[in-house]
Amino acid sequence: MLSQLVYYSITNVIVSDKVITEILESSRKNNAALEITGCLLYHNYIFLQLLEGEKENVNELFETIKKDERHSNVTLIIEENINERMYPNWSMAYHDFRAKKSAKDNFVKSIDFSSNNIPKKTEAIDLFWRMAKQIVV
């Protein structure tokens, strides 16, 4: 059974490019081994993540994430069963928009477009993109 899970957390460390790179490298490696796909968003000390995969694997990964000392207040937003992945090719997608205001503005526009044009939108996907917009704006 496939599952989508969305959570957010607050960082306990200064998140430099090096920290983001380390998180992404380990996430991509570990997620591939567990056949988990998803998307990670970081902005203003907040992590927001969508995970997709076999329910048992997603829950196992989420338990590991909750123990990671780089963040606190790990809060489950939603977990739901799905029939197919929304993002089957995203081992762990990440978008860096910190450098330029235009990148942030374009990201918000892409959230609006994506939210309105996803043919198989689930409640988890909808919440993820609505929260992403709130965090960035």
Averaged pLDDT, 18-39: 86
Q: Give the tens place of pLDDT for each residue, 128-137.
A: 878 887 887 7
Averaged pLDDT, 118-132: 78
pLDDT score at 105: 65
| CATH code at position 66 | 3.30.70.100
**Number of folded domains that form the chain:** 1
- pTM here is 0.81
Domain that holds residue 20: 2-136
Q: Does the structure show a pLDDT above 70 at 109?
A: no
Q: Give the tens place of pLDDT for each residue, 2-19.
A: 999 999 999 888 888 888
For 1-33, b/e burial (b = at least 16 CB within 10 A) is ebbbbbbbbebeeebeeeeeeebeeebbeebee
Give the chain's length: 137
